[in-house]
C-alpha cells in the first residue's frame, strides 16, 4: 500500500492505495469513507479488496490537511451534502485518478461507500457515467441530489441496509427504490432486520443508533464480494 | 431421486425426494412448490439441492391425486390460505417425514418455497418450531396467518423479492418487516429492482406480472446457496 496525492475539484487530497499481487492490469474499487473521512477502517477495507485482486483507492472527502477531525467532520460533510455538484465533481475526479493509475483497468471500476460514503457511491452512479460498472452503498444515506433531472443510471447498484437505521427510514428506502427504478438502474437492496447504522464498524457501540452487527457485517461483506465479481468480471 | 408416500394432516401425499451422493446423514431442505403444486420445476430445484449435498424433499400441498391441476390449483391454494391451521399442520407433518428419512440429519432442516410456497416457508417458520433452522421465501406471498399471537420465530429467514411483484407490494413488504421484527426473527430481505413475480421460473412470460428474470434468478439462487450453507452448517 501507498499514499498518493491527487486533486479533486478545488482541493488537494491524499488517497490510500492498496495494490493486489501480480503484474498486469487490475479492476479498480474506490472506497468512499464515512463522515469521518479516511481512517484505518477504510484502509483495512482497501487491504481486504487488494487481497481479492482489486486495486483499491480510498477517496479523500475533505482534503489532505483534514484528518483526525472529531466532530468537525459533520460540518465538513454537511458542506458537501449542501453542494452536491461539488461532491459529484470531486468523486468524478477521484474516479479519473484511480482509473488512470498504473496497473488499473479503466474499463472495470466500481465504488463501495460506507455511511456518508454510501451516499457518495450512489451519487457517483447518479452522474450517469458509464465508466462506473457498479456501486455499493453500505449503511448509506439516501437523500437525493437537487441537481435537476436524473440521467439514466448505468452502474449496477447494491444497497446494503440495516432496516432499523435511524438515518435511513423505511420511507427513505421507499423513496430510493422509486428513484432508482425511475432512473432505470439495475438495483438490489439487501435489508437486515434488527440492524441499525454502522453495522460493519466494530467500534460502533450506540445501541438503537449506530452499532456493530457481526451477522450483518459478514453477510454484507459476502454480498459485496459476489457483487464485485459480477460487475467487474 | 424417488417418490415416497406420506400423510400430511388429513391427506395422502407424495413427495419427490432427491438424495445427495455419499453415505452418512445429510442436512435436509424442504421445497415448497408454487400454487400449481409439485412440478418438474420443483423436481429440478430438488435435484440441484441434492447436488449441493442436501437431502431435498418436495412438499405436496394438495394430495397425491391432485396433479396437472390447471387453474383448479388456485381454488385448492385458496382453501389452504383460508385455513392456515390446516396448512401449518400439513407443513409440520412434511417436516416430520422429511427429517425422519433415512440419511436425514434432523438437527439441520431448512425450507425454501416459491410463490405460494414462499408463504408456506414463512408459515412453517411462523409456527415457532425450533426444528427449522432456516426458511427462504422466493417471490413469496406475505399475508399473515389469523391464528392469534405470533410466537417468537426461531428459524433464520431470507426473503427474496421482486420489488415490482404485484402480489407483494411495497406496503406488503413493510408489513412483513414489522411482523418479522416483532417476532424477533433473524431476517433478511433481498429486493430486486425491475423484477416482478415468478422471476425464477423460465416459463413465466407475463410482463409486468409474472416474468422470468435471469439476473434475479442467478442472484437469488446464489443468495440461497450462501444462506443454506450458513444456517445448515
Distance in angstroms (rounded) separating the CA atoms of residues B92 and B59: 11
CA angle A13, A17, A21 (to 5 degrees): 165
Tens-digit pLDDT profile for residues A12-66:
999 999 999 999 999 999 999 999 999 999 999 999 999 999 999 999 999 999 9
What pLDDT does residue B39 have? 95
Q: What is the CATH number of the domain that holds B65?
A: 3.40.50.1820
By Cβ distance, the residue of A174, A193, A222 closest to B180 is: A193
At A211, is the secondary structure helix, strand, or coil? strand
Cα distances from A181 to residues A92, A101, A129, A225, in angstroms, run 23, 33, 17, 24
Say yes or no for a CB contact (<8 Å) between A181 and B191: no
Indicate if the pLDDT at residue A1 is higher than 80.
Answer: no
How close A98 gets to chain B, by Cα (Å)? Answer: 29
Give the nearest chain A residue to B180 (CA atoms): A193
The interface predicted TM-score of the complex, written ipTM, equals 0.95
Is A193 an interface residue toward B (CB < 8 Å)? yes
Is B12 an interface residue toward A (CB < 8 Å)? no
Range A163-178 average pLDDT? 98
Indicate if the pLDDT at residue A149 is higher than 80.
Answer: yes
Range A99-117 average pLDDT? 98
What pLDDT does residue B1 have? 76
At A84, is the secondary structure helix, strand, or coil? helix
Indicate if the pLDDT at residue A124 is higher than 90.
Answer: yes
**CA atoms lying within 13 Å on the CB side of residue A4:** 17
Tens-digit pLDDT profile for residues A195-214:
999 999 999 999 999 999 99
By Cβ distance, the residue of B164, B184, B191 closest to A188 is: B191
Q: Which residues of A touch B193 (CB under 8 A)?
A: 177, 180-181, 185-189
- Grid cell digits, residue A98: 484511480
Range of the domain at A42: 2-231
User: Can you give the pTM of this predicted structure?
Assistant: 0.97
Q: Please count the structural domains in chain A.
A: 1
Say yes or no for a CB contact (<8 Å) between B189 and A189: yes
List strand residue ranges (DSSP E) for chain B, in order: 2-8, 11-18, 26-32, 55-58, 104-114, 134-138, 156-162, 187-192, 205-206, 210-211
Q: Which residues of chain B have a pLDDT value below 50?
A: none
Q: Which residues of A touch B177 (CB under 8 A)?
A: 163, 170, 191, 193
What pLDDT does residue B176 have? 98
At A158, is the secondary structure helix, strand, or coil? strand
By Cβ distance, the residue of B190, B191, B193 closest to A185 is: B193
Amino acid at each position: 500500500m501507498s499514499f498518493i496525492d491527487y486533486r479533486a475539484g478545488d482541493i488537494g487530497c491524499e488517497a490510500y492505495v492498496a495494490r493486489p499481487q501480480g503484474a498486469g492490469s487490475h479492476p479498480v474499487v474506490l472506497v468512499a469513507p464515512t463522515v469521518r473521512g479516511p481512517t484505518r477502517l477504510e484502509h483495512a477495507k482497501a487491504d481486504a479488496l487488494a487481497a481479492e485482486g482489486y486495486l483499491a483507492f480510498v477517496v479523500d472527502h475533505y482534503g489532505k490537511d483534514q484528518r483526525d477531525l472529531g466532530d468537525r467532520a459533520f460540518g465538513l460533510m454537511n458542506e458537501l451534502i449542501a453542494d452536491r455538484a461539488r461532491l459529484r465533481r470531486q468523486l468524478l475526479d477521484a474516479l479519473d485518478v484511480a482509473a488512470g493509475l498504473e496497473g488499473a483497468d479503466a474499463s472495470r471500476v466500481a465504488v463501495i461507500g460506507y455511511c456518508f460514503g454510501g451516499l457518495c457511491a450512489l451519487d457517483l452512479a447518479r452522474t450517469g457515467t458509464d465508466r462506473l460498472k457498479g456501486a455499493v452503498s453500505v449503511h448509506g444515506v439516501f437523500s437525493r441530489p437537487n441537481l435537476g433531472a436524473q440521467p439514466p443510471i448505468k452502474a449496477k447498484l447494491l444497497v446494503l441496509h440495516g432496516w432499523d437505521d435511524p438515518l435511513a427510514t423505511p420511507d427513505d428506502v421507499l423513496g430510493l427504490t422509486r428513484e432508482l427504478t425511475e432512473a432505470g438502474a439495475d438495483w438490489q437492496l439487501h435489508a437486515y432486520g434488527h440492524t441499525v447504522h454502522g453495522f460493519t464498524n466494530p467500534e460502533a457501540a450506540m445501541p438503537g443508533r449506530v452499532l456493530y452487527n457481526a451477522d450483518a457485517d459478514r453477510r454484507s461483506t459476502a454480498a459485496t464480494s459476489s457483487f464485485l465479481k459480477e460487475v467487474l468480471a
